Amino acid sequence: MEFFNKAKAVRLRSHLGKYLVANDDEETVRQSRKGSSSEARWTVEFVQDNCHLIRLKSCYNKYLTASEEPFLSGLTGKKVVQTSTSASSSENSDRCIEWEPVTSGFEVKFRTRDGKFLRANGGTPPWRNSITHDVPHRTATQDWVLWGVDIVDILDFESLSNCESFASSLSNCSSHSEDFARSDSGSVPAVVSLSKM
């Protein structure tokens, strides 16, 4: 989580070297090699009541959302889409837009509240360039949930002070989030600090 403390906006790079982008239909997402486009920029929002969670907002002011709709009928992967929230949104819909960053070496996995991971798919259509959330069951697909994070904008001094104040108030948070399923090993990976990079 510390990795995102100073980030205002990020780009997410998949194992295929492509970036997570918001499509201009303002509903779907995909992978693209055009990492410099505004569609590859995701604004980071911190979830106030849980020190482990972030939200990612697209250039269309929509949130990266783990939907319950299957990507393909009969398969386990579910669609990842862009959605907006309203003041009257339910706790369940909020859960769909909240992601727990879990570091794995120099890369990050983004875990949903259901324990699934943001996944960049490859292969032939319809899989090519698609984004789903799923649990990788095979060794061959373990890397598909790893993302490189490029920080493209940092918080200004005033926001940074507020963020650091917020982060320090969260220092008493347990390193184990009970709202999330744990990894197979049951341990929480070390967090990469932006200040060490």
Average pLDDT over residues 50-74: 91
Task: Count up the domains in the chain and report the number.
Answer: 1
pLDDT tens, 170-180? 444 444 444 44
For the ranges 2-6, 10-14, 61-65, the lowest mean pLDDT is seen at 2-6
> Nearest-CA neighbor of 38 among 55, 18, 24?
24
Query: For residue 89, what pLDDT is reported?
Result: 58
Q: According to the model, what pLDDT value does residue 159 have?
A: 54
CATH number at residue 45: 2.80.10.50
Residue 158 CA to residue 125 CA, distance in Å, equals: 46
Residues 77-122 have pLDDT tens digits of: 899 999 997 544 566 668 899 999 999 999 999 999 999 999 999 9
**pLDDT grade for 191, boundaries at 50, 70 and 90:** very low
Reported as a pLDDT band with limits 50, 70 and 90, residue 73 is: low
Q: Which domain holds residue 153?
A: 2-196
* Global pTM value: 0.77
DSSP sequence for 29-65:
EEEES-TTSGGG-EEEEE-TT-TT-EEEE-TTS-EEE
User: In a 10 Å sphere around its CB, with 0-12 CB exposed, 13-18 middle and 19+ buried, how is residue 16 labelled?
Assistant: middle
